[in-house]
Amino acid sequence: MKTTKHILTLVFIGLFSLVLTACSEEKQEQAEDSLSDFKNAASQAMDDAKDAASDAADKAKDMAEDAADKAEEMADDAGNALEDACEDAKEKMDLEDKDC
């Protein structure tokens, strides 16, 4: 009877160990899957952030170029207006050289 009890105890301990190992492996697999999902999500977030930063830089560059073009146009317009005013003044003063 003692031998049977010892054998049953060993079998029970063995089965219990197998169940715990199986549960432990399942939790490990779940943890690995969760970690993999987290890594993928973080990688995607970084890619999205890089794309957004690149888009913002492109828009800023375009805006700066547009502003530079507008400033150049305004400078040309101001220069032309000043030249016209100078020529008008020379014409009213009846000067020979009307170019400014």
| Structure confidence by residue, pLDDT tens digits, 41-87 | 988 999 899 999 999 999 999 999 999 999 999 999 999 999 988 88
* Average pLDDT score over residue span 6-33: 68
**What was the pLDDT predicted at 72?**
96
Kindly give, in sequence order, each residue whose CB lies less than 8 Å from that of residue 98, ignoring residues fewer than 6 positions away.
87, 90, 91
What's the pTM value of the predicted model, to 2 decimals? Answer: 0.50
- Containing 45, the helix (H) or strand (E) segment is helix 2-92
